[in-house]
Amino acid sequence: MLLKHEVIKWKRIYFFSNLFCCNLHTLQVINEESPIWDASYKPAVSLLLQRSANSKRVHDAASAQQNAVRRPIADGSQAKKYKYSSEVEDLSNEVVLQAMRNINDSKNSRSSEVVFPVNAPRDEAAKTKESRGEIELHIVGNSLSHPVSKQSMLWLLGLHSVFAHQLPGMPRDYISQLVFDPKHKTLALIEEGRPIGGICFRTFATQGFTEIVFCAVTGDKQVKGYGTHLMNHLKDYSIQQGTKHFLTYADEFAIGYFKKQGFSKDIKVARPIYAGYIKEYEGATLMHCELHPSIVYTQFSSVIRRQKDIVKELIAQRQQEVQKIHPGLTCFKEGVRSIPVESIPGLREVGWRPIARAQRQARPLEESADPDKLAQTLATVLVAVRQHSAAWPFQKPVSQADVPDYYDHIKYPMDLKTMGERLKRGYYVTRRLFMADMARIFTNCRFYNLPETEYYRCANTLERYFQTKMKEIGLWDK
């Protein structure tokens, strides 16, 4: 049965869900330069929702039915970006109700044909089994301070066997050391009383991250979504414990799996935070995953799929409403070379609006006539760059004792400490001298290091940050 608060909830998320339907010709993914962010832009009537005066009532009704996306409190920048037009007409309850009925009827008609819908999430089967009680997930671990149940010890032994069998390159005694270490815990996937998979991890609460040590599922249970389901449960558990970062060293066979789970080679945690806490593995790649505290990961894919279905159905309804065939244009046969776009029949009916001309941007600020003022401005940028988490490799000159051949390849070295000294001596009389030295830091790094190294990634990250800071103060014209 369809409830009224469900209708309101799905209406409020309709706009954001269009990002998942970009292949439909009626909608497009909106970029930063799109006119949709212009306050004067008025979209098609039934394609956007307004933030009406009774938004508080709507929000309270939606909060009563908590789902996978916990609604975050938008900061000032977000509130400005997603600004709704007060003139946009809201969708009626009847329209959304009809869309939900059509979706449910369509699913019921196909229930005898397929077990799971087409393009179902990877963990759909695992979630179904968990809801039926066929599988269970438990956090288990050893302890030296209080008794450990016999069941937990049996599961730990079973998990040790799973890891040892699925990770043949890992020494058994090392697996035993970590699985039975009281500081490590394991999220166990249990079927018929025995472990069929798990994730061994250790949380460094003071550092704000969790290290994933082992992750494996038995061979006969792979490619069934169990790995994704395990990782989603671990994400939810970590968020509840206040941890928002995962770090792991993945070998060449595991990189693909971790990428699917949201991990990236772009490490957003400063090296001093994890250096010395986790063990580095030769031949493995460090990967990072940042968790969003407003998401319930075990339910997220289902909610997104539901939103997508509703948006597609509403689009189909809208197409039926505005479907109209206009006669072709004959003016070009009569010698007309061009016509205004807004004169094409049917464009305004489907929501098209003329794009406002962008105002001519002023040229970047040139060098200040006051050298002290320019030095003060550049000093502010340099301090911000040095405090960035990716700046640690560039803080001081490269030591020849640590890297003997560095100066054989790099003839014109540069670092942030040297730039600070030059700034104090008044060397940077123009911004271009300052930009040239900063660019030399990144160029030298990329010339000496391979693209897959952390130094190379830090150079790219810090370069983007530097350009952003220079643009903010109007000293970047590239």
Q: Give the active site residues.
A: 211
CA nearest neighbour of 274 among 211, 215, 325:
211
- Give the residues across from 186 on adjacent strands: 140, 200
Instruction: Please give the single-letter amino acid code of residue 258.
Output: F
The residue assigned the tokens 């460094």 is 204
CA-to-CA distance for 426 and 439, rounded, in angstroms?
19
CA-to-CA distance for 178 and 397, rounded, in angstroms?
39
CA nearest neighbour of 218 among 124, 121, 318, 135:
135
DSSP-derived secondary structure for 4-28: HHHHHHHHHTHHHHGGGGTTSTT--
Paired sense of beta strands 194-204 and 185-191, if any: antiparallel
CA-to-CA distance for 306 and 473, rounded, in angstroms?
44
Q: Could you give the strand order of the β-sheet that contains 245-250, starting from the edge strand earlier in sequence?
A: 135-140, 185-191, 194-204, 209-217, 245-250, 285-290
CA-to-CA distance for 460 and 390, rounded, in angstroms?
9
CA-to-CA distance for 423 and 386, rounded, in angstroms?
14
Token digits of residue 411: 């003839």
CA-to-CA distance for 435 and 380, rounded, in angstroms?
14
CA-to-CA distance for 94 and 100, rounded, in angstroms?
10
Q: Where are the alpha helices (DSSP H) in 168-292?
A: 172-179, 226-240, 255-260, 271-274
Rounded to 5 degrees, φ, ψ at 289 are: -135, 125
CA-to-CA distance for 5 and 1, rounded, in angstroms?
12
CA-to-CA distance for 461 and 438, rounded, in angstroms?
13
DSSP state of 248: E
Token digits of residue 281: 């593995």
How buried is residue 378: exposed, middle or buried, by Cβ count under 10 Å (0-12/13-18/19+)?
buried
Supply the Cα-derived Rg of the chain in whole angstroms: 29
Can you tell me whether residue 39 is helix, strand or coil? coil
Largest CA distance in the chain: 92
